[in-house]
Amino acid sequence: MTAAMEHSDVTPSFFYDFGIVREKVAMLRGALPAGVGIHYAMKANPLPAMVSAMVALVDGIDVASGGELAVALKAGAVHISFAGPGKRDAELESAIRAGSTINLESETEATRALSIAERLGMTPRLAVRVNPDFALKGSGMKMGGGAAPFGVDAERVPALVKRLIATGADWRGFHIFAGSQALDSGAIADTQAATVALAGKLAQEVGATPPLVNLGGGFGIPYFAGEQPIDVAMIGERLGGVLENRDSILKDSKFAIELGRWLVGECGIYLTRVVDRKESRGEIFLVTDGGLHHQLAASGNFGTVVRRNYPIAVANRFGFDVEETVSVVGCLCTPLDRLGDQVGLPRADVGDVIAVFMAGAYGASASPASFLGHSPAREVLTKV
Ligand SMILES: *Cc1c(COP(=O)(O)O)cnc(C)c1O
The pLDDT score that the predictor gives to residue 2 is 47
Please give the distance, rounded to the nearest whole angstrom, from the Cα atom of residue 1 to the centre of ligand 1: 36
Asked if residue 41 has its Cβ within 6 Å of ligand 1, the reply is yes
Which residue stretches of the chain have pLDDT < 50?
A: 1-5
Cβ proximity of 213 and 250 under 8 Å: yes
Domain boundaries, the chain: 46-259, 266-382
Given 333, 335, 370, 373, which residue is catalytic? 333
CATH number of 46-259: 3.20.20.10
The pLDDT score that the predictor gives to residue 179 is 83
Asked if residue 44 has its Cβ within 6 Å of ligand 1, the reply is yes
The pLDDT score that the predictor gives to residue 10 is 86
Please give the distance, rounded to the nearest whole angstrom, from the Cα atom of residue 179 to the centre of ligand 1: 8
CB atoms within 10 A of CB 67: 11
- List, for residues 287-316, the tens digit of each pLDDT value: 999 999 999 999 999 888 889 999 999 999
The pLDDT score that the predictor gives to residue 85 is 96
Cα separation of 110 and 97, whole Å? 16
Cβ proximity of 348 and 277 under 8 Å: yes
The residue contributing the CA closest to ligand 1 atom 2 is 41
Q: Which CATH architecture has domain 266-382?
A: Beta Barrel (2.40)
Total-model pTM? 0.95
The pLDDT score that the predictor gives to residue 3 is 44
The residue contributing the CA closest to ligand 1 atom 14 is 41
Whether the bond between 12 and the residue before it is cis, its omega within 30 degrees of 0, is yes
The pLDDT score that the predictor gives to residue 140 is 65
Q: For residue 266, which of 11, 21, 46 has the smallest C-alpha distance?
A: 21
Q: Alpha helix locations (H) across the chain?
A: 3-6, 18-31, 48-55, 66-74, 89-98, 107-120, 157-166, 185-206, 232-244, 261-264
Is 333 labeled as catalytic in the residue annotation?
yes
Cβ proximity of 193 and 137 under 8 Å: no
